[in-house]
């Protein structure tokens, strides 16, 4: 998906209209840094949405930042950074993935669809993971109602 790259360049062009003194290279790396910083917040909010206590959600968010797949292009920070594999579009999708799954877990359809669309627009592979995860949750909720 090219949506993350288009968003970065479009926002850079928009900001460059107002005496913006960064190169696109520097701006890109700041965006990646900010998104890496927001990933624990995304996980924290998702865990709160699922009904965990703030302490448990905080511990879960802290642990989520230490996921590692050791070269499998997963959700670990090395996948997103230049010194690693440079999959920055995957990082955009990773921000929305926990929220899509959390809202699906709670059975809130409209927010789940919104975050699922944002996840898929960020990265198709992570979007497929989200669709499969939400499918399992839909099956769980269907069995619960029967």
Measured distance CA(57)–CA(146) in Å, rounded? 30
CA torsion angle 114 117 123 129 (round to 10): 90
Residue 145 predicted with pLDDT over 70 = no
Instruction: Please write the tens of the pLDDT for every residue from 29-75.
Output: 899 889 888 989 999 999 999 999 999 999 999 988 777 666 666 66
CB 129 within 8 A of CB 140: no
pLDDT score for 110: 93
Measured distance CA(47)–CA(136) in Å, rounded? 18
Q: 54-90 as b/e, with b when 16 or more CB fall inside 10 Å?
A: eeebbebbeebeeeeeeeeeebbebbbbeeebebbbb
- Closest alpha carbon to 99 in 76, 122, 116, 80: 116
Q: Position of tokens 């799954």?
A: 101
Cα-trace Rg, the chain: 17
Does the predicted TM-score (pTM) go above 0.75?
A: yes
As given in the structure block, the two tokens for residue 112 are 């789940």
- Percentage of residues in the chain having pLDDT higher than 90: 41
pLDDT score for 125: 86
As given in the structure block, the two tokens for residue 44 are 């924290």
């Amino acid at each position: 998906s090219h949506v993350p790259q288009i968003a970065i360049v479009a926002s850079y062009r928009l900001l460059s209209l107002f005496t913006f003194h960064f190169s696109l290279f520097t701006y890109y790396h700041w965006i990646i840094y900010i998104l890496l910083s927001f990933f624990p917040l995304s996980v924290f909010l998702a865990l709160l949405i699922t009904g965990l206590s703030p302490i448990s959600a905080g511990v879960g968010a802290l642990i989520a930042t230490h996921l590692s797949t050791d070269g499998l292009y997963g959700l670990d920070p090395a996948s997103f950074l230049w010194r690693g594999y440079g999959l920055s579009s995957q990082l955009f999708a990773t921000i929305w993935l926990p929220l899509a799954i959390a809202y699906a877990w709670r059975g809130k359809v409209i927010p789940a669809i919104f975050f699922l669309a944002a996840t898929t627009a960020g990265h198709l592979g992570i979007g497929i993971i989200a669709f499969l995860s939400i499918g399992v949750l839909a099956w769980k909720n269907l069995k619960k109602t029967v």
